[in-house]
Structure 1
Amino acid sequence: MQKYGIAALFTLPFAVFAQDCPEYLNVEMRKLHSTEQVNLCQLTQGKPVLIVNTASNCGFTPQFEALEQLQQQYKEQGLVIIGFPSDDFFQEENDEAKTADVCYINYGVTFTMLATSEVRGSDANSVFQYLTEQSASPKWNFYKYLVSGDGKQVQQFNSRVKPDSKELIEAINLTLKNEND
């Protein structure tokens, strides 16, 4: 070990991990209403991810409550939930502080929420570009994408599929089971 030096001990684990990170998650993005950046590879660490495009002023906004319940129910089993606020459907606050209030104060969200970004078309953030290539772009707010830990399998659920629906719960359980086998 000595021939690599002390710096190698700190950089080697990340270098090994970075090779295992799906390309679409190999990005840093800003957290909602914060200057803090989050590295999506470090956040997910090869775990299954539920990605949701959200909006503060949508009829589906109350789904935040059930998404938070999923967070509490499945975080210890390895599921990572990431919310991507977007104004692509003209239902997001213009002020990021108000978006944060809806998420954190109104619904008690503890899962990672990122800064507002585009999720459709040529200006879509890199995560949603990948999801679109693998399945389809969101047709409305609160589309859900369940992605395997290796990033190779993407299941899409439309806005009407509630986070606590039998369909989504079964898909989460199966994905977690496959990850642990």
Structure 2
Amino acid sequence: MITARRNMHWLKSSSLCFLTAFFVLWSSQTTALDRETPFDSIDGGTLTLAQWEGQPVLVVNTASMCAFTEQYRELQALYDRYRDQGLVVLAVPSDDFNQELASNAEVKEFCELIYGIDMPMTVITGVKGRNAHPFYQSLRQEVGFTPRWNFNKVLLDRQGQVVDTFASRISPLSDQITRQIDSLLSDATVTQ
């Protein structure tokens, strides 16, 4: 009877140790948000989220032939309003929803001529599935977010952590987004 109790106690202790070790190992295996892998810039060269360390960044997967394409105007207005305070708006054109122009040159010309875009912009880039850019893959792994359509938005704080994600229908100039940007920018003013 005593031996059976000791064995039960040992079994419980061993199980607890095993579960603790498994949890520690599992939690150490989770990946951080990928801010280092470069995006190819539509203007040539590369862009990384890490280059904007210390600045909030709004990352938006875009498309030129979408019902939400008019949001380019709002994204540029948002960038114009907050860029001097440190906000970066990064447009990531994607054809994952079959609504992007055929080439990077066409996307660049369209965005500059129609919307006067001068915010940072990548080349046409995958944002979902196996061909997604590593940033979007890590976003899915870390916070469970994958763009469901064009003009999904991801707001990152000054340390590159996800503050919030927004669906296509949420305007870049909505109070829902601008309040959070104001908060991120005012937090920096208080800490400086």
Structure 1 residues 147, 89: CA separation in 2 closer, same or farther (over 3 Å shift)?
same
- Does the alignment pair 1:75 with 2:83? yes
CA contact (8 A) 1:135 1:154 kept: no
- Counterpart-to-counterpart distance in 2, 1:136 and 1:175: 21
- Counterpart-to-counterpart distance in 2, 1:132 and 1:90: 21
CA RMSD of aligned residues (A): 1.6
The amino acid of 2:38's aligned partner reads: E
The amino acid of 1:150's aligned partner reads: Q
What do residues 111-170 of structure 1 show as CA deviations (whole Å, max 9, x unaligned)?
100011100112210111222232410110000110111122330010000011111111
What do residues 30-56 of structure 1 show as CA deviations (whole Å, max 9, x unaligned)?
111x432234322x1321100000000
Segment drifting more, 152-161 vs 63-72: 152-161
How far residue 89 of structure 1 moved from its aligned partner, in angstroms, is 0.3
CA contact (8 A) 1:50 1:82 kept: yes
| Percent of aligned pairs sharing the same letter | 34
Q: Secondary structure at the match of 1:46?
A: coil
What do residues 53-79 of structure 1 show as CA deviations (whole Å, max 9, x unaligned)?
000000000100010011110011111
- Does the alignment pair 1:85 with 2:93? yes
Structure 1 residues 178, 122: CA separation in 2 closer, same or farther (over 3 Å shift)?
farther
The amino acid of 2:90's aligned partner reads: I
CA contact (8 A) 1:117 1:125 kept: yes
Aligned match of 1:25 = 35
After TM superposition, the structure 1 = structure 2 runs for residues 28-67 of structure 1, keeping only pairs within 5 Å, are: 28-32=38-42, 34-42=43-51, 44-67=52-75
- Does the alignment pair 1:96 with 2:104? yes
- Does the alignment pair 1:172 with 2:181? yes
Q: Secondary structure at the match of 1:50?
A: strand
TM-score (norm 2): 0.77
Gaps of 5+ in 2: 1-31
Q: Which structure is larger by alpha-carbon Rg, 1 or 2?
A: 2
- Counterpart-to-counterpart distance in 2, 1:101 and 1:67: 17
Which of 141, 145, 167 is equivalent to 1:136? 145
Q: Secondary structure at the match of 1:89?
A: coil
Aligned match of 2:6 = none
Gaps of 5+ in 1: 1-21
Aligned residue pairs total 158
The amino acid of 2:40's aligned partner reads: R
Q: Deviation above 6 Å: which 4+ runs of structure 1?
A: none
How far residue 95 of structure 1 moved from its aligned partner, in angstroms, is 1.6
How far residue 23 of structure 1 moved from its aligned partner, in angstroms, is 5.6
